């Protein structure tokens, strides 16, 4: 691993310059939280839910290791959604506490900030694996048919598609995910690999909603990914699939003093054209 500097670096006062003291205090006093929503996402399924701005959402491994695929949108405008590739560039390919999840153009603002993560100390393992992956994306029935010639309807893409249908969204709105609890990396041939999920029962991943969010989560049909999904050793890994819990908390008003929702990017969107001819809203 080299020490070459990151391409995208923050300047003082930019949105990349996180007020760590503010986000740290959101987890220091659990008594200032009020549970407002709680549910379980069963194995091989998906669920969509709302997280209002200024609330905290926690994803919990309630029975043991399980990988989850997370999508998020602006609740009021689904054109604004999580942008995995830009988040990789602005933050890291594997994210944890104080990293932010960024939205697509022309909005380009933090949608959520990670506040707590029981796997934050996992670091880099002996194979180069790290957790909470933005390198890969959701499994889907199209690739599965390409590799196996068979149909399977409970890949994460399909789970997320079913989850958001009640909100008027379709598979065209499902996008590249954050793979929560997933351990991945690049091998010596620069190829993507996945390892068994290192999470244990009771581990959690938590984020603060910077804007009103619609979130959707799929419990991956590969479960904890300890069983190969494709290739000569592949089999149905249903025995390593587990449900996940989701909790949403309102925060005491005093905790939010000094915080405000981030503004969308200030670039006006003219792109060198006559602004009178541009209608991009």
CA distance 177 to 78: 15
DSSP category for residue 94: B
Residue 144 structure tokens? 């599965």
Residue 280 pLDDT level (bands cut at 50, 70, 90): low
Q: What is the DSSP string of 29-83?
A: -GGGEEEEEEEEE-TT-EEEEEE-TT-EEEEE-SSS---EEEEEEETTEEEEEB-
Answer yes or no: is 152 within a domain.
yes
Answer yes or no: is 248 within a domain.
yes
**Model confidence over 81-132: pLDDT tens digits?**
999 999 999 999 999 999 999 999 999 999 999 999 999 999 999 999 999 9
CA distance 127 to 156: 25
Answer yes or no: is 163 within a domain.
yes
CB 46 within 8 A of CB 217: yes
Answer yes or no: is 271 within a domain.
no
pTM of the model: 0.94
Q: In the prediction, which pLDDT does 134 show?
A: 98
Q: Provide the residue count of the chain.
A: 281
**How are beta strands 178-186 and 77-81 bridged, if at all?**
unpaired
Answer yes or no: is 237 within a domain.
yes
Please give the tally of structural domains in the chain: 1
Answer yes or no: is 102 within a domain.
yes
Hey, is 163 helix, strand or coil? helix
Q: In the prediction, which pLDDT does 239 show?
A: 97
**Model confidence over 213-267: pLDDT tens digits?**
999 999 999 999 999 888 888 899 999 999 999 999 999 999 999 999 999 998 9
**Model confidence over 159-187: pLDDT tens digits?**
999 999 999 999 999 999 999 999 999 99
Answer yes or no: is 121 within a domain.
yes
Q: Is the pLDDT of residue 65 over 80?
A: yes
Answer yes or no: is 266 within a domain.
no
Domain residue limits at 49 = 37-254
Nearest C-alpha neighbor of 69 from the set 219, 274, 259: 219
The position carrying tokens 């949108």 is: 73
Hey, is 26 helix, strand or coil? helix
Buried residues in 110-134 as b, exposed as e (16+ CB within 10 A) = bbbbbbbbbbeebeeeeeebbbbbb
């Amino acid at each position: 691993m080299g020490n070459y500097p990151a391409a995208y670096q923050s300047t003082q006062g930019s949105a990349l310059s996180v007020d760590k003291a503010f986000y740290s205090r959101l987890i220091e006093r659990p008594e200032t939280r009020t549970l407002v929503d709680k549910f379980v996402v069963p194995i091989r399924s998906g669920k969509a839910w709302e997280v209002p701005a200024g609330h905290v959402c926690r994803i919990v491994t309630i029975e043991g290791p399980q990988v989850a695929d997370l999508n998020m949108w602006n609740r009021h405008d689904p054109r604004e959604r999580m942008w995995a590739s830009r988040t990789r560039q602005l933050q890291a390919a594997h994210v944890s506490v104080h990293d932010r999840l960024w939205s697509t153009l022309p909005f380009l603002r933090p949608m959520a900030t990670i506040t707590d993560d029981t796997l934050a100390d996992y670091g880099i393992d002996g194979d180069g694996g790290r957790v909470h992956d933005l390198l890969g994306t959701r499994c889907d029935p199209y690739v599965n048919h390409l590799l196996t010639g068979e149909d399977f309807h409970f890949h994460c893409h399909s789970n997320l598609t079913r989850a958001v249908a009640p909100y008027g969204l379709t598979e065209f709105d499902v996008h590249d995910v954050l793979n929560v609890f997933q351990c991945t990396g690049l091998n010596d041939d620069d190829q993507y690999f996945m390892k068994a999920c290192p999470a244990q029962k009771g581990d959690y991943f938590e984020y603060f909603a910077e804007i009103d969010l619609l979130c959707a989560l799929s419990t991956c049909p590969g479960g904890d990914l300890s069983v190969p999904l494709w290739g000569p050793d592949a089999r149905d890994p249903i025995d390593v699939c587990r449900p996940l819990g989701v909790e949403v908390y309102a925060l005491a008003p005093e905790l939010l003093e000094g915080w405000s929702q981030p503004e969308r990017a200030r670039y006006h969107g003219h792109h060198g054209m006559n602004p009178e001819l541009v209608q991009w809203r």
